[in-house]
Amino acid sequence: MGDRGGRGSVKPFVVVVVVFVVVVAAPVVVVVIVVVVVAVVVGVVAGVAVAVAVAVVLVLVLVLVVMVVVVAVVAVAVVVVVAMAQYNSSVAKALVEGLLLLLLVRCSGWCTVSHIVCQPRRLVE
């Protein structure tokens, strides 16, 4: 299992940047298109003031969704790239495992936390 190197190898940093740009740019374009279309339709039907209000709310909601998705995808991308780059070193291994664990806790944590918080008696008994 030697290091291939040479011109075939891709720099991890480049992979992270490309993934990040794609992940950030794609949702932003979708958000802009959706907001513009909805604002135009609402503007025609209900008037400009309502269209502006709807557009603002849409932007806020979609930006929140996009942020959550971006954070999740970037976290996964970083984990994968770090793993690809140097999984043989113990520091990188610990980092990768820590990030994966963090991601797992983040995804499944809400149910677990709410279960523990909402039903503390069952845990005690």
Domain locations in the chain?
27-124
Q: What is the pTM of this model?
A: 0.34
Q: Can you give the pLDDT at residue 49?
A: 78
Q: How far is CA 117 from the centre of its chain?
A: 26
pLDDT band at 120 (very low <50, low <70, confident <90, very high): very low
Residue 23 burial (CB count, 10 A)? 19
Q: Are 83 and 96 in contact (CB under 8 A)?
A: yes
pLDDT digits (tens, 9 = 90+) for 9-65: 556 667 667 767 776 677 677 777 877 787 778 777 777 777 778 777 887 877 777
Q: Can you give the pLDDT at residue 63?
A: 75
- Phi and psi at 3, nearest 5°, equal -80, 125
> What percent of the chain is modeled with pLDDT above 90?
0
pLDDT digits (tens, 9 = 90+) for 63-110: 777 777 777 777 777 777 766 665 556 666 676 677 666 666 554 444
